[in-house]
Amino acid sequence: MLELYQKEECPFCQKVRVALNDLELDFISRISHTGSAQREFMLKLGGKAQVPFLIDQEKGVALYESDAIVEYLYNTYGKTQKSTTDNTPKVCPIE
Ligand SMILES: N[C@@H](CCC(=O)N[C@@H](CS)C(=O)NCC(=O)O)C(=O)O
């Protein structure tokens, strides 16, 4: 199962969600706000206070960085990556 540590309002997380939806992959969403239990768990697993963070339990893979995650998903689970223009604003809202 895929687990995505994320925040709804994070544009980098949105990019990963778009890829997951495009590939029709089921995933567990772990909402990871500052101070939350999910955030603490992510820090223990990955060492960085940053989202998105993907865990692929079956493949034993854990990844930060949205571009690396999207590339991993298409390489591992997919068809050819869609050549969509990425209009996602690269500004993280303040919590
Ligand atoms: N280069 C990273 C940037 C990710 C990023 O800046 N994420 C912000 C949220 S939008 C973050 O984790 N900020 C620290 C925090 O939320 O604690 C990527 O593409 O994944």
Give the atom of ligand 1 at the shortest distance from the alpha carbon of 49. 17
Residue 83: exposed, middle, or buried by beta-carbon count in 10 A (0-12, 13-18, 19+)?
exposed
Q: Are 34 and 95 in contact, with CB atoms under 8 Å apart?
A: yes
Helix (H, G, I), strand (E, B) or coil at 31: strand
Helix (H, G, I), strand (E, B) or coil at 51: coil
Do the domain assignments include residue 50? Answer: yes
pTM of the entire structure? 0.89
pLDDT at 55: 98
Do the domain assignments include residue 94? Answer: no
Do the domain assignments include residue 86? Answer: no
Q: Which residues pair with 56 in a beta bridge?
A: 2, 61
pLDDT at 92: 80
Do the domain assignments include residue 82? Answer: no
Do the domain assignments include residue 90? Answer: no
pLDDT at 93: 76
Do the domain assignments include residue 93? Answer: no
Pocket test for ligand 1, best of 4, 8, 9, 10 (most atoms within 8 A of CB): 10
CATH code of the domain in which 26 resides: 3.40.30.10
Decide the pairing of beta strands 27-31 and 2-6: parallel
Do the domain assignments include residue 71? Answer: yes
Do the domain assignments include residue 83? Answer: no
Q: What residue numbers bound the domain in which 37 lies?
A: 2-77
**pLDDT tens, residue order, the chain (95 aa):** 999 999 999 999 999 999 999 999 999 999 999 999 999 999 999 999 999 999 999 999 999 999 999 999 999 999 766 655 666 667 787 77
Q: What's the total number of domains in the chain?
A: 1
The CA radius of gyration of the chain, in Å to the nearest whole number, is: 13
